[in-house]
Amino acid sequence: MPEGHTLHRLAAHFDKTFGGGAVRATSPQGRFADGAARIDGRVLVEGEAHGKHLFLGFDSGEWLRVHLGLYGAWSFGDADGERHLGAPRAMGTERVELNRDGDGFVVPPTPVGAVRVRLVNTGGWADLRGPSACEVITTDEKRAVQARLGPDPLRPDADPERAWHVINRSRTTIGALLMRQDVIAGIGNIYRAESLFRAGIDPMTSGRDLGRERWEPLWEDLTDLLRDGVRDGYIITTRPEHRPDPDAYPVPRPDTLYVCYRTGEPCRVCASPIAATELAGRTLYWCPGCQG
């Protein structure tokens, strides 16, 4: 499932490539036909992300809310004929021949697969496949969704005290609390495990036993990691001294993570075997040596 940095990158991409102009909306798959009709021909005013939710605001005062879930993805094409595949997953490009209609809108190629919604403007198009949520909502409904979410470290309105208020009173493990979107929005399985490793925190520590002296650096590090993810487009959590070739970055490599997907492999810091168990519905990875 895409984590918070990906949604903020998507919001910025929509602002840059669709913002300020009219958008044609269709549902090639047919499952979103009514919603597409509500925003068809409207001007996209802004893209906004909160946690794992993407909100696209239109001049009608309505918003397209998208949650990608485990299988959702956007793909983009631009007017010079190059099709960018697989956002948020990088899958390369392919050349396509494009035309324009009488109003100057791009005429994109025939949709491939089950495209829930297609957005087209004079510069290109965007296709959405497989989201867990895709709906048109009012501003009040958008606010109601956001009210259920915890602070997003990437947003300027983020208040870490809101998260701390929940964590400090909870018997639940910090490893589980970090996966709750009503505690901190945008944190997923990778950021959970990697941030706890970097902080040297046992993921089984209860929230009320964490202590502010460990919470504040954890929040700050999560914020920094997410910002790096927005900048780079992928998650890198290893520090330069723990990479075989630090000068090769930023380039995706197998040594970009400390513990995730490395069950049984030696820790990059202490050489203890990386452990794994299920927690909060996902596989949790940690180092018993560094986080014991």
Q: Which residues have a catalytic role annotated? A: 2-3, 52, 282
Which residue, chain included where needed, has tokens 């021949």?
97
Query: What is the spatial distance between Cα 292 and Cα 288, in angstroms, rounded to a whole number?
Result: 5
Three-class secondary structure of residue 118 per DSSP: strand
Q: CB-based burial of residue 166 (10 Å sphere; 0-12 exposed, 13-18 middle, 19+ buried)?
A: middle
Cα–Cα separations (whole angstroms), residue 83 to 75, 116, 126, 184, 196: 8, 18, 10, 34, 38
Orientation of helix 212-232 relative to helix 189-199, angle to 10°: 130
Spatial separation of the C-alpha atoms in residues 179 and 202, rounded to whole Å: 15
User: Edge-to-edge, what's the strand order for the sheet holding 73-78?
Assistant: 24-26, 115-120, 124-129, 73-78, 82-84, 93-95
> For residue 87, what is the enclosing H or E element?
none
